[in-house]
A and B are shown apart, each in its own frame.
Chain A
């Protein structure tokens, strides 16, 4: 006992207490989710500020005598004259596989009622994007399961592909389909024990959406079994503007963890127009000078620094990737507005969705003519490239001829055949929502269309033919499909097998 007492006494004698320096300020003004704090001379940009009462803020404006802070939380508890102090920390969110299958808010806190998140690592929400040395070019595909995209506007891992269109044209659906497709591929690879397959994890960032819409997306993902591979970052319309502006950055931080650890991730920002509006609100409240459409001058930088974080890194740096699918909502198809033009110029391609096409029954309502993927073709599967290489050109020609044929003039046989083929291809590209098509099936269907197997099928029955063909191949020619999936290219023997199978099917088709 005496030894113990001596030991404690020695420890007390050896213990040194120091008063750490703190930087404090006084709240001068508070309201609308923004506070002006006098003092805080050591505050850093984007530093978290402790405003007391458990409320934190983010330092966004560093002036000579005061700091402009956006409040992350309930600002009604704060009062003028209250003390604020710097924390020396940047805003961070938890990262890791523990977040998969969860719905979190901007701060990475669970909002799905499934208990605490198992994560011991955090990442800052604002991070410098990988530099030139760390990057490598896009070379692996993201199989969206949406035929016109995989065939004509392919997306590669590490690419930034914009999805743009008016409200109600199916922008979110494309992203959900892509996420479901990834989940199916991941699951199939896990079941087959395919170690070469690189699972693609998904992050869905919902910005400024109705809570009911977010709940619907989550339920669709759950029904499709995609939630175990997905993280949902929710910042609904009822969230503060600051939270809505920060949500994509929080999602990007979660995605970066996968990339930094040699894994692949896909992030959907739904949508960046609403984030820009939230940022405009914050900037105006902070009394920053406004520019075009009242957006602040750095709204381009806001999106460019976010989308630059999507990358494919070299093998030396883990070989991971982060693919970004930002969504932009246009007003009456005006793609020349400020935010759409900004994001178009930042991304590696765009998928245009049109209201007219949507109402004509072309779903997904992709305008293939003006949609483009600038880097994705390098990542496209060889088999798809072989069958769909000429497709975009053929369709462009078809549209031109179809427009000409509207005048009702007589057409020569060759032109008529081109128009007929085009109509059938347009028909096979129609696809139901939440039903991604495996790549092998896509190859078979496009191959059949390109080789004239659909030419004799009346246009209204093309879809029926496609469904029967798909059924025939999945039930009776599963081995052939597996071969296509394995070889990822159409060799001559495979083409011969395809031909035999297609002939067999044609005989049964009535």
Chain B
């Protein structure tokens, strides 16, 4: 699907409309999608595809994925959540996941930022250094 500059521009405007105090408002997102479909414009699919992409990226920016080899204790989860909220501000959703291949430690990803303190990452770094 070809996304033209005009489509990008218009979608960006719609996306901006969905922001409330810098955070994406779910109701507005739903409204925008309904209105665009109802309008039935020719470039509606490309607008919605690009809009979906922007929303996905926004969600990724505001979602912290915390991976560890074993389940984290509740108190540690709270500490991590507080630390992330302090660094990235409010509106951050946290999701905890288990990945045994990390061997130990923790890997946190918020949008493009990755804090990899896992044993596996360190082993890989060690391997690269030789």
Instruction: Report A's interface with B, CB cutoff 8 A.
Output: 17-25, 38-42, 65, 85
Contact = CB atoms under 8 A, between A and B. Distances in A.
B115 interface: yes
Given A17-B117, A19-B117, A42 B112 contact: yes
Interface string B89-116: 0000000000000000110110111111
Given A65-B53, A65-B54, A41 B111 contact: yes
Nearest to B54: A65
B114 A22 contact: yes
B4 to A, nearest CB: 12
B13 to A, nearest CB: 14
Determine chain B's interface SS by DSSP, over half rule. mixed
Given A65-B53, A65-B57, A19 B112 contact: no
A314 B30 CA distance: 66
Interface in B71-130: 105-106, 108-109, 111-117, 121-122
- Interface size class of chain B, counting residues whose CB lies under 8 Å from the partner chain: 10 to 19
A25 B117 contact: no
A39 B116 contact: no
Given A65-B53, A65-B54, A65-B57, A41 B112 contact: yes
20 contacts: A18-B117, A19-B105, A19-B108, A19-B116, A19-B117, A19-B121, A20-B115, A21-B115, A22-B114, A22-B115, A22-B116, A23-B112, A24-B109, A24-B112, A24-B113, A39-B111, A39-B112, A40-B112, A65-B54, A65-B57
A24 B114 contact: yes
Contacts of A65: 53-54, 57
A38 B114 contact: no
Given A22-B113, A22-B115, 13 more contacts: A19-B105, A19-B115, A19-B117, A20-B115, A21-B113, A23-B112, A39-B111, A39-B112, A41-B111, A41-B113, A42-B112, A65-B53, A85-B114
Closest 9 CB pairs of A and B: A19-B117, A39-B112, A41-B112, A22-B114, A19-B115, A24-B114, A23-B112, A24-B112, A19-B116
A227 to B, nearest CB: 35
